Chain A
Amino acid sequence: MNAQALLELADDELILGWRNSEWTGIAPLLEEDVAFSSIAQNEIGHARALYELAARELGTTADELAFDRSPDEYRCSKLVQLRLVPDWARTIARHCLYERADQARIEALKGSDDPELAGLAAKIDREEAYHRMHAEMWRDRLENEPRFVAAIEELEPLSDVRDEQIPEFADLWDEMTMVRRSVAGATW
C-alpha cells in the first residue's frame, strides 16, 4: 500500500479522534466521558502509527504529516470532518457507521503483502474490537430513539464522500495548528 493511500486511513483516524476528543470533559455522563476519551485517544494513536509508516516512505515525521500539511492536502472523509458536539445522537451514529466501514478496511489491510502494515493492522484491529463493542452497545440502547434514527439516515451517505472539505474543517485545522504555528520551528 503506498503512502498516499495510508494517509487516507491515517487522516480519517486523526480527524475522527480529534472530533471525538472534543467530548472529553462534557460527555453525557462521567463514566461514558472516560470510556469515550479512551476511544478518541486510541484513534489518535492509530493515526500516529500509520503516519510513522508513511513518514518513512515520504522522508518526513508523523507530527509533520499530522500538522504541517495545508488543509486541502488532508484526505479524510466528509463524515469525520463534521463537528457534532454537543449532539450525542449524531456522535454515536457516526461512531457506529465509521466502525462498521473501518472494520472492512482494516480486515483488508491485515491481509497485506507488507508484513509491517499487516502487523500494525492486526494491532489496530484488536483495539478497534472494543470500539465496535462500545458502538453496538449504544446502538442497542438508542436504536428506537428518533434522533438516532434520523442521525444514521443523515450521516450514512457521507462515509464514502472524500476529497470534499467542509468549512468546519478549515476551522478545525486552524485550531489544531495554532500553537504549533505560533513559534516557527519550535520544539514543543
Chain B
Amino acid sequence: MSAAAREFLRRAAEKSGDLAHRQVVRFNMDQYEAAVARGHSRFTDWEAARERCRQIKWEAVNHLDRYLLEFETKVQERGGHVFWAETSEEARRYVCDLAVARGVKKVVKSKSMVTEEVHLTPALEKLGMEVFETDLGEYIVQLRNEPPYHIVTPAMHLNRGQIRDLFKEKLGGGATDDPPELVAVARRTLRQAFFSAEMGISGANFLVADAGMVAITTNEGNGRLCTSIPRIHVVMTGIEKVVPRLQDLAMLWPVLATSGTGQPITCYNTLLAGARRAGEVDGPEEFHVVLVDNGRSQLLADSEQRDVLHCIRCGACLNACPVYRAVGGHTYGTIYQGPIGSVLTPHLRGLSEFQHLSYASSLCGNCTDVCPVKIDLHHHLLHNRRNAIRAGTHPGPERRAMRLFRWTMMDAGRFRILGGVARASIRLAHALGLGGTALDPMRAWTRRRAPMVLPSTSFRSLWRKTDGFR
C-alpha cells in the first residue's frame, strides 16, 4: 500500500467518526442543494443545457491543438506572452523568473487550482516575495497554512468562531464573529495588498479561442482587482481550458454558476484580452499566459477517459459524493478532491501511488448525474481500477485474496466447504468469548461495528430445506 493510501485510510477513519465535522459538511451541503434546486428551476431544460456544455467541451478537447493555437495567435497579436509549460517545475520557474526580473515584492492571487497544483506560492515565497490569496475562503486557509478543503469553497470546514480566532491572531481582528465584520477585516488587509502588489496572478475558467480572451469568474471581485491594479498580470491555467467561441459562454457561464453555487450567474464574469492598450484608463502593463500541460496531454491520449478534460471545476461532484461528505476534503491529500480528483490524480501523479482513490467511491453514480459537462466519473473510477490491475500495481495481499476468492467461487463444492470452515471458526471464536476482540475472525468488520450474529443455518441449507423458499 502506498504512503498516500495509508494516510488516506488513517484520515478517513478519523474524519468519518468526527460528528462535528459531519454536521458542518451536512449543513453546507443542505444549503448548497437548496440553492442548486432553485438554480435548476431557471432552466426549462437542464438536461439539454448539460448536453450543450458537453458538446462545447468535446469540440474543444478533441481539437485542442487547433483552438490553443488560435488562442495563442490572438493573444500574441495584442502583445501578450504565452508560455507552454510541460511540467509543474517549468510553470513555476517561468513565473518565478519573471517576478525576479521585474523586481516583484508582493503578489496578489485570485483563486486558481492550477497554481495549487504546481505549488507556485511556496516557490515565490522562497524567493522572499509576499503572496496573498485574495479569495476570502482561500485567504482563510492560507492564514491557517492549510490546503483548500474544497475546490469552490476552500474554507467550508470552518465555522465563524474559528475564523474570528484566526483573524484575531493573524490580522488583529476584533472579538466579533459577525460574518460582515469578518469580511470587512479581510477586505481592509487585502485592499492594501491589491494596491501595493506589483504582480497579480489569476487562473482562467475558460480561454476563448476565437476572441483570444481569458474568462475569469468570481463573486467577490478579487479576480477583477488582481487583474486591474498590479502592473503585471499572469494567467496560469491548464491547456484543457480552451473553448472555441465567445458565444459558448452564453451556455457555460450560467451552467458553471448553477452547478458551482446555485446562482443564476456569477457576479463578475470577466473577459481579458491582454495588457492595457493605448487610450485605456488603467490595466496592467504586461500580460502573460502560462499554459500548463503537467500530464494533461497523456490523459488526452486515453480516449476512454478523455472527457475528464471537460471538467469546468464547478465542484458539484464533490458535493454529491457520499464519500466526500463522510471523509471531507483534506482526507484526500490531493489538490483536486472528490470524484473528479479521484479520477484525475492518478493521471497527474501516478496510478501506483494514487490507485486507492479509485475505491474512494460507492459507485452510486451521483457524481456522473450531477456533472454539468457529463463526465462519466464513476465509470472512470472503474477504468482506473482495471488499469491498476492490468499494470499489476495493486497490493500483493489483495491480489492473493482475490485469487483465493476466484478459486473458491469457481466450484460449488469448494464454496460449500470453505463457507462451512469460515462459519465454524467464527462460531468457535464467539463461543470462546473472543467476539469483538482482536482475535475475532471478523475483526475487520467488528473494529468499528457491533459484532455480527451468525444465522444458525447457511443460505444453501435453508434453500434446500424449503425447496427454494417456496
Partners in one complex: no
